[in-house]
């Protein structure tokens, strides 16, 4: 597979390490009253879609960017690649 790195252009998937569902960016609020339930959901429950899947890849053999890659699990078609940091900011994460 080729991943079109937003900064470096197309790179072979073998340069990357896969982590999984990009929902891992949405770490729950530890102070929420139901924090435990939310963290169990966050830590253990994953969607397993047949189709578009947003997932985290780490460019370990490269510039060490974490990327959010939108990949079709049926065809491996990659429709979007973004820096995870940009996605995280957009989704409201800060410090």
Partner 1 sequence: MTQVNRLAGGLIDRSRTISFRFDDKWMKGHPGDTLASALLANGVRLMGRSFKYHRPRGPLSAGSEEPNAIVELRDGARREPNTRATTAELFDGLTAQSQNRWPSLAFDALAINDRLSNFFAAGFYYKTFMWPAAFWEKLYEPIIRRAAGLGSLSLQADPDSYDKGYLHCDLLIIGAGPAGLAAALTAGESGLNVILADEDSLPGGRLNAETFGLGQQSGSDWAAEATERLAALPNVRLMTRTTVLGAFDHGIYGALERVSDHLPVPPEGKPRQILWRIYSRRAILAAGATERPIVFENNDRPGIMLAGSLRAYANRWAATPAPEIAVFTNNDDGHRTAQDLKAKGVTVAAVIDTRPDAPKGNGYEVIAGGTVTNTSGRLGLTKIEVTDARGTRRTIRCGALGVSGGWNPNVSLTCHQRGRPTWDADIHAFVPGGTLPEGMVVVGAANGRFSNHTALTSGADAAAQIATELGHSATRPDLPQAEDTPLALTPFWHVKGAKRAWVDQQNDVTAKDVKLAHQENFVSVEHLKRYTTLGMATDQGKTSNTAGLAIMAEVAGKSIPEVGTTMFRPPYTPTAIGAFAGRARGKDFRPTRKTLSHFWAEEQGAVFVEVGMWLRAQWFPRAGETHWRQSVDREVLQTRRSVGICDVTTLGKIDVQGADAAAFLNKIYCNAFAKLPVGRVRYGLMLREDGIAMDDGTAARLAEDHFVVTTTTANAVTVYRHMEFVRQCLCPDMDVQLISTTEAWAQYSVAGPNARKLLQKVVDPEFDISNEGFPYMACGEITVCGGLPARLFRISFSGELAYEIAVPTRYGDAMIRRLMEAGREFDVVAYGTEALGVMRIEKGHAAGNELNGTTTALNLGMGKIVSANKDSIGAVLSRREGLNAPDALRLVGLRPVDRSKPVPAGAHLMTRGSPVDAAHDQGYVTSACYSPNLGHSIALAFLKSGDTRMGEILRLVSPLTGVEHDVEVVSAHFVDPEGERLRA
Query: Is residue 85 involved in binding partner 1 (CB under 8 A)?
Result: yes
Among 30, 33, 45, 50, binds partner 1 (CB under 8 A): 30
DSSP code of 23? G
In order of 10, 27, 48, 55, 82, the CA distances from 41 in angstroms are 34, 10, 14, 17, 25
Residues near partner 1, by CB under 8 A? 1-2, 12-13, 17, 19, 24-25, 27-28, 30-31, 35-36, 39-40, 42-44, 56, 58, 60, 64-66, 74-78, 83-86, 88-89, 93-95
């Amino acid at each position: 597979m080729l991943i079109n790195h937003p900064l470096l252009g197309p790179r072979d998937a073998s340069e990357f390490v896969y982590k999984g569902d990009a929902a891992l960016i949405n770490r729950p609020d530890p102070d929420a009253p139901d924090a435990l339930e939310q963290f169990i959901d966050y830590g253990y429950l994953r969607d397993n879609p047949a189709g578009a899947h947003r997932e985290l890849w780490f460019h370990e053999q490269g510039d060490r960017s974490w990327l959010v890659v939108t990949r079709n699990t049926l065809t491996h078609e990659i429709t979007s690649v973004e820096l995870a940091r940009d996605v995280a900011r957009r989704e409201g994460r800060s410090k």
